[in-house]
A and B are shown apart, each in its own frame.
Chain A
Amino acid sequence: MSSSQVWSEDSGHDGNVHATRKYAPSPRRGEGWGEGLGWPCPPLHQGTFCSDFTQKHSSSARRPLTPTLSPKGRGSDIPAMNYNFAFLDEDTKRMLRRALLKAVAIPGYQVPFGSREMPLPYGWGTGGIQVTAALLGPDDVLKVIDQGADDTTNAVNIRRFFARVAGVATTEHTADATLIQTRHRIPETSLREDQILVFQVPEPEPLRTLEPREAETRTLHALADYGLMHVKLYEDIAQYGHIATSYDYPVLVDGRFLTSPSPIPKFDNPKMDHSPALMLFGAGREKRLYAIPPYTRVESLAFEDHPFEIQRWEHQCELCGSGESYLDEVVVDDRGTRMFVCSDTDFCGQRRAEAQA
């Protein structure tokens, strides 16, 4: 573990063991992009392999954690970690990067790509995880959130997965991360230009519930014929008296492409408009990528007399007292007692830490 000095183990107050690196924004981001097959050598073979798991089990730090089918690896003591850096092979990553470049060039347009089998089921973030794998460099610091929380199953496992197969540093602090993979939320902390947000998308086609034919939805996109989307909003108002769509609220990107923001609450839609951070969307099962480049206009659809509105609460977070964050309602006992807490655990934790200091 020659380079393990740069890592420090941090057993956080929440009991989550994870590695953080003393992070300085890397000016080298992107240098590896054009290299195709050219990672000098997978870091695993250099002994830089490092994860929260191996740190805890340092005696077996050089042994592969997953038995592989290498002829020598199985049943022998010879390390046979056959994963490429960040799991995917370099050809696949190149294919993904090309698709991502196209997606960035045409904001909101769904680019087809050859989605791979990933070691997690469809619906758990196979699209997001492939985008992350294509973007990760050895100097990246990864944060993964699920419904705003860093400590849920999906988030913990994807974070651990990349710590294992790429040896990158992970963090729970939004400000420290260079790459944030997210499911269902955008962090409350404002993002910066040197950060990338990767969304997991179950259904990239916002028109799908109204138009099941893929050929037809593609034609509608090509002709920017989006009257249909308002039929859905009309139905909402007719049935509920207001636009009841509360998540996956359709947006128009750069005045051109109707786009699904993934199932984030509409509370987060305004954060997408002119965001300094690049936002990338991956739908693994549907095999589509799309992007919202930095500082792009993102409008949420609405009617003139029923304008777009975000959720509001009469409560404040009962842990940190925040009145402007997205709140989860949590049932805390079997008598129906409820409490409202921030869905963004990092935001909430930092506010509590500041209040204590």
Chain B
Amino acid sequence: MSALLQVRGLSRHYGQRIGCEDVSFDLHPGELLCVVGESGSGKSTLLNTVAAQLAPTAGNVRYRQRDGKWLELGALSEADRRRLAREEWGFVTQNPRDGLRLNVSAGANVAERLMALGMRNYGQLRDIARSWLERVEIDATRIDDAPTGFSGGMQQRLQIARTLVTQPRLVFMDEPTAGLDVSVQARILDLLRRLVNELGLAAVMVTHDLAVARLLAARTMVMQGGRVVETGLTDQILDDPQHPYTQLLVSSVLTT
């Protein structure tokens, strides 16, 4: 099977400082890749560079479109980049307030990407928004409520609905469960696992939580100081870590 995303030798520097250095990986359709590492290890820089929101210092990212053509993301025009982000990709931010439009209702948040794609039938938009709210376990009667009145967990679920409503092929997630309490995290992870399976999404997820990687990802990449120190099957990495930093990371997880 051909890959969806090819990252080769990707570096992003902030002046003299290294954001991420010489990262390469392939992502296949339907695959969820977790990037783990401590704070400041370059996970979010890597994610933003791969998603073409930051310009790479070196290296390149290629993406295979729906029509099978490969796109060189570095050479993409602003118009094409936005079209990709609108039609084929999704981005879930850590803080749902960054990803949501807070001054409009939950329904409008879910329907916005559909309207951006040109859907102009209010009744249909409404039905789709309702069904997506139910899919992410938000009461459909709250469709006209402002997201500011939602709890943190609900806001994150709303952001997930808003991102997935256009059925993107590739989703970038930046610590979607950080800052939520454990029971809410569990529900969101459960939801994500179900949706990723249902929709056959490919996703790159950044997290510092190894349990998230264990639960969702087939493959995991461990980063330290901007470099990938270990990569492989999630179970392999978590059960038999080879690199000293990975060993430290795995051993420092609290067990009850």
Residues of B within 8 Å of A237, CB to CB, are: 122
Judge if B123 is at the interface, Cβ distance under 8 Å.
Answer: yes
A229-274 contacts to B (CB < 8 Å): 230-232, 234-235, 237-239
Interface size range of chain A in the complex = 20 to 34
Interface-facing stretch out of A74-82, A187-195, A289-297, A303-311? A303-311
Judge if A223 is at the interface, Cβ distance under 8 Å.
Answer: yes
Residues of B within 8 A of A (CB-CB), count: 25
Residues of A within 8 Å of B86, CB to CB, are: 225
A202-214 to B contact mask, C-beta < 8 Å, 1/0: 0000000010000
- Shortest Cβ gap from B34 to chain A (Å): 32
Chain A residue nearest in CB terms to B126: A238
Bound together, the chains give a CA A223 to CA B86 distance in angstroms of 13
Judge if B196 is at the interface, Cβ distance under 8 Å.
Answer: no
B100-114 contacts to A (CB < 8 Å): 101, 103-105, 107-108, 111-113
Residues of A within 8 Å of B78, CB to CB, are: 219, 223
B118 and A234 within 8 A (CB): no
Bound together, the chains give a CA A329 to CA B82 distance in angstroms of 47
Judge if A37 is at the interface, Cβ distance under 8 Å.
Answer: no
- Shortest Cβ gap from A320 to chain B (Å): 38
B15-34 to A contact mask, C-beta < 8 Å, 1/0: 00000000000000000000
B120 and A238 within 8 A (CB): no
A303 and B120 within 8 A (CB): yes
- Shortest Cβ gap from A216 to chain B (Å): 11
Bound together, the chains give a CA A303 to CA B125 distance in angstroms of 10
Other-chain residue from B82, B123, B143 in contact with A223 (beta carbon distance below 8 A): B82
Judge if B115 is at the interface, Cβ distance under 8 Å.
Answer: yes
| Known interface pairs A223-B78, A238-B107; A231-B121 also in contact (CB < 8 Å) | no
Bound together, the chains give a CA A210 to CA B109 distance in angstroms of 12
Other-chain residue from B104, B118, B126 in contact with A235 (beta carbon distance below 8 A): B104
A239 and B144 within 8 A (CB): yes
Residues of A within 8 Å of B76, CB to CB, are: none
Other-chain residue from B105, B111, B116, B121 in contact with A304 (beta carbon distance below 8 A): B121
Chain B residue nearest in CB terms to A223: B79
Bound together, the chains give a CA A36 to CA B122 distance in angstroms of 52
| Known interface pairs A225-B116, A227-B112, A228-B116; A234-B107 also in contact (CB < 8 Å) | yes
- When A and B form their complex, which 6 residue pairs have the shortest distance between CB atoms, in order from nearest? A227-B116, A303-B122, A230-B115, A227-B115, A304-B121, A234-B108
Chain A residues in contact with chain B, CB under 8 A? 210, 219, 222-223, 225, 227-228, 230-232, 234-235, 237-239, 302-306
| Sample of 20 A–B contacts (CB below 8 Å) | A210-B101, A210-B104, A223-B82, A225-B82, A225-B86, A225-B116, A227-B116, A227-B118, A228-B112, A228-B115, A231-B104, A231-B112, A232-B104, A234-B108, A235-B108, A303-B122, A304-B120, A305-B121, A305-B123, A306-B122
